[in-house]
Amino acid sequence: MLGGLGVLTALLVVAQATALAVLLATAFDGRLHRGALAGLVAAVAARAAVVWAQGTVAARAAATVKATLRADLLGAVGRHGPGWVAGQRAGQLATLAGRGLDALDAYFTGYLPQLVLSVTVPVAVLARLVLADWSSALIILVTLPLIPIFGALLGWQAQVATERQWRRLARLGGHFLDMVAGLATLRAFGRSRAQVDVVRRMADRHRVATMRTLRIAFLSGLVLELVATLSVALVAVPVGIRLLGGGLTLTTALLVLLLTPEAYLPLRAAGARFHASMEGLSALNDAFAVLEGADGRPAAAPKAEVPAPPGAEVPAGVPCSTKSGNRGPLLPPQPGEIRFEAVTVAYERTTALRDVTLTIRPGERIAVVGPSGAGKSTLLGLLLGFVTPTSGRVTVAGVDLATVDLDDWRRRLAWVPQRAHLFATTLADNIRLGAPETRPEALAAAVRAAALDEVVAALPDGLETRLGERGHGLSSGQRQRVALARAFLRDAPVVLLDEPTARLDTASEAVVLDATRRLVAGRTALLVAHRPALLADADRILRVVDGRVTELTRTGEVVG
């Protein structure tokens, strides 16, 4: 579409200059060329319409590409897995998905249309001038390449400066978000004012990088303008001399003088628009790095285990290469045995699990104990599809989990983390996260099963009460009951729980324990726990130490 509009613009440029040259030449003779006047008006009106169409098409293309890239970026983050996300700075990812991709507007609405015109308009102008005055066309043909040559030389320098500017902006956004998230901690330790100075220094470095980029852009603009002006002069001076000597007609001389600047204008404008679009291109490179799983900045996939913050909702430090939504084989309606067959999960600096062989029978409740960092969360991550074994495999009903449709498998899972992430929406929407089409009766039943009904009754708008970010307004115990209500509503045959009673007071722990017992009843459950009350309800107890799994008796002895 832009190519066709570019060709049309080039033809209109030639038509407009031709009509204007004829109109001015006849005006010197004291006549009015009505045909040339009508042609000029029509060309100007048509050119304005084409410019509007170019802007509209480019704006729509930019909006479509940005929306697609944002959706793909979020999908790629999901496919990388929570462990990968834990190794990134949330602020840098947010800056990339927000300000970074928004900067593509300058590329799609400014640079790309101008790039098309920089090809079509000079060709049309040269073709017309070859017919009118071949010597002027030859001068233009020789000098025209100087603009892209000088533009490329300066553009390389500007690209390096823009990359530096974008990196500093991304770091500034990431640090600022971290600072806001940890503001209470900073104030408690008296470090909030020190962070103000840090942000000020980072902002100043970004300002310096921006001014350096602008200096290069202004220098580039000056050089291109100078080259274009000298080139036009090389054409204009001989034309004037030949006109005075009678070697050219007035109409031809005017046509050459009107068309010559038009040949250089698109190239000069493309150079200026390129500088304006380079920030968006830098962000686009980072977005592609995330999409392709390459070592991008700021979001490089970790090559070693990067632990998640304590109590995070996701298994810690686990990169994932398994794609969500792959069209692999579907599992039977009721998954059979879950088997870990000589599973090892290794990283560059450590091994999370070592040669784990384990069978979980349908309806069995298994508790997992062990010190922090022993590999308990990696077991859960394997079942959630966030981790791919280095060797060995995990099977469900005899089917390798690495080959199945992960979306289909995850629909059979309910997940209760240590700290459930609640979104800034209504309580009902938070509970319906895993079952958005659920009926009100089922929602109410899940609320009762999770012992959340008293909490709902005390809220001003009940289930329609809007929560703050991360569930602000609810206590830790209440947030944990929301996670349990999600699991009840999911009604999945397999339940995974990661220390659901961690960091709860005695009263809240008792309520959550009762709800957890109701949740795991009749379901296959893998429960990471330390509380004796949770262990008492397990059919088997597994201990994980240094990545090795052993089975314990009720007295704490190793089975076998």
Q: Check: CB of residue 446 under 8 Å from CB of residue 488.
A: yes
Hey, is 168 helix, strand or coil? Answer: helix
- Amino acid identity of residue 260, one-letter, is T
pTM above 0.75, yes or no: no
Task: Report the distance separating Cα 476 and Cα 471, nearest Å.
Answer: 9
Q: Check: CB of residue 505 under 8 Å from CB of residue 453.
A: no
- Amino acid identity of residue 123, one-letter, is V
pLDDT at 304 (0 to 100): 31
Q: Check: CB of residue 374 under 8 Å from CB of residue 546.
A: yes
- Least Cα distance to 544 among 270, 246, 340 occurs for 340
Q: Check: CB of residue 335 under 8 Å from CB of residue 324.
A: no
Asked whether the domain spanning 338-552 has the same topology as the one spanning 2-292, the reply is no
Task: Report the distance separating Cα 431 and Cα 488, nearest Å.
Answer: 9
Task: Report the distance separating Cα 187 and Cα 372, nearest Å.
Answer: 29
- Please provide the DSSP assignment of 412-456 as one string: TEEEE-SS----SSBHHHHHGGG-TT--HHHHHHHHHHTT-HHHH
Task: Report the distance separating Cα 250 and Cα 223, nearest Å.
Answer: 32
Task: Report the distance separating Cα 68 and Cα 71, nearest Å.
Answer: 5
Q: Which tokens sit at 431?
A: 């509970």
pLDDT at 150 (0 to 100): 75
Q: Which CATH superfamily is domain 338-552 in?
A: P-loop containing nucleotide triphosphate hydrolases (3.40.50.300)
Tell me which CATH code domain 2-292 carries. Answer: 1.20.1560.10
pLDDT at 431 (0 to 100): 87
pLDDT at 294 (0 to 100): 36
| Structure-token match 């990471």, residue found | 528
CA dihedral (421, 427, 428, 430) in degrees, to 10, reads -10
- Amino acid identity of residue 88, one-letter, is Q
Q: Check: CB of residue 434 under 8 Å from CB of residue 489.
A: yes
- Least Cα distance to 240 among 254, 226, 227 occurs for 254
pLDDT at 317 (0 to 100): 35
What string of pLDDT tens digits covers the 560 residues of the chain? Answer: 777 888 888 888 888 888 888 888 888 877 778 888 888 899 889 988 988 888 888 888 888 888 888 888 777 776 666 666 656 666 667 777 777 777 777 777 777 888 888 888 888 888 988 888 888 889 888 888 887 787 777 666 666 777 777 677 777 777 777 776 666 666 655 666 777 777 788 888 878 877 877 777 777 777 777 888 888 888 888 888 888 888 778 888 888 888 888 888 888 788 777 766 776 777 777 777 777 763 333 333 333 333 333 333 433 333 343 444 455 666 766 668 889 998 888 877 788 888 888 888 988 888 888 887 788 888 888 888 888 888 888 888 888 888 888 878 888 888 888 777 888 888 888 888 878 888 888 888 888 888 888 888 888 888 888 887 777 778 888 888 888 888 888 888 888 988 877 777 777 778 888 888 888 888 888 888 877 777 877 888 888 888 888 887 654 554 44
pLDDT at 313 (0 to 100): 40
Domain boundary assignment for the chain? 2-292, 338-552
Task: Report the distance separating Cα 210 and Cα 178, nearest Å.
Answer: 23
pLDDT at 370 (0 to 100): 84
CA dihedral (223, 228, 231, 232) in degrees, to 10, reads -140
